[in-house]
Amino acid sequence: QAKQLGRNRYQLFDMEAAKDLRARHQELERLRLALRQGELRLHYQPKVNMRTGQVIGVEALIRWQRDADTLVAPGDFLPVAEHSPLIVDIGEWVLGEAIAQAMRWRDQELDLVISVNIAARHFQHPGFLAGLKRILARHPQMPPDRLELEILESTALEDVVRMRALMAECQAIGVRFALDDFGTGYSSLSYLKQLPADTLKVDRSFVRDMLDDQDDLALVEGVIGLAAIFRKQVVAEGVETPEQGLVLMRQGCDYAQGFGIARPMPPDQVAAWISSYRPDWKWALLGDRRCR
Least separation in angstroms between CB 174 and ligand C2E? 21
Question: Of the candidates 46, 183, 258, 267, which one interacts with ligand C2E according to CB under 6 A?
Answer: 258
* Local structure of 138: helix, strand or coil: coil
Residue of 45, 101, 117, 244 that binds Mg ion (CB under 5 A)? 117
Nearer to ligand C2E, 55 or 109 (CB): 55
Q: Find the binder of ligand C2E among 50, 61, 156, 249 (CB under 6 A).
A: 61
Name the segment binding ligand C2E (CB under 6 A); options: 7-15, 101-109, 111-119, 169-177: 111-119
Instruction: Rule CB under 5 A: say whether 221 interacts with Mg ion.
Output: no
Smallest gap from residue 181 Cβ to Mg ion (A): 4
CB 269 within 8 A of CB 235: no
Of 92, 150, 221, 254, the residue at the interface with Mg ion (CB under 5 A) is 150
Q: Output DSSP code: residue 238.
A: -
Provide the CB-side half-sphere exposure for 30 (13 A, CA). 13
Question: How many other CB atoms are there within 10 angstroms of residue 235's CB atom?
Answer: 28
Cα separation values, 59 from 23, 46, 184, Å? 32, 7, 20
To the nearest 10°, the Cα dihedral for 13, 19, 22, 26? -150
Question: Is position 153 an interface residue for Mg ion (rule: CB under 5 A)?
Answer: no
| Contact between 180 and Mg ion per CB under 5 A | yes
Q: Give which of 69, 143, 133, 138 is closest to 106, Cα–Cα.
A: 143
- The region of 47-55, 117-125, 157-165, 192-200 touching ligand C2E under the rule CB under 6 A is 117-125
CA-based torsion, 55, 59, 64, 70: positive or negative:
negative
- Per CB under 6 A, the list member of 259, 269, 282, 291 interacting with ligand C2E is 259
Binding residue count for ligand C2E, defined by CB under 6 A: 23
Of the ranges 45-53, 119-127, 234-242, 277-285, which one interacts with Mg ion (CB under 5 A)?
A: 234-242
Site for ligand C2E in 222-251 (CB under 6 A): 237-238, 240
When the beta carbons of 269 and 290 are compared against ligand C2E, the nearer one is 269
> Does 216 participate in binding ligand C2E (rule CB under 6 A)?
no
Residue 172 burial (CB < 10 Å; 0-12/13-18/19+)?
Answer: exposed
Nearest to 74 by CA among 54, 102, 45, 101: 45
Of 86, 88, 94, 210, the residue at the interface with ligand C2E (CB under 6 A) is 94
**Do β-strands 70-72 and 147-152 pair in parallel, antiparallel, or remain unpaired?**
unpaired
Closer residue to ligand C2E, CB minimum distance, 86 or 192: 86
Instruction: Specify the DSSP element, H or E, that contains 143.
Output: none
181 binds Mg ion (CB under 5 A): yes
Among residues 27, 35, 66, 74, the one that binds ligand C2E under rule CB under 6 A: 74
- CA 199 to centroid of chain Cα atoms: 12
Give contact residues for Mg ion (rule: CB under 5 A): 117, 150, 180-181, 237
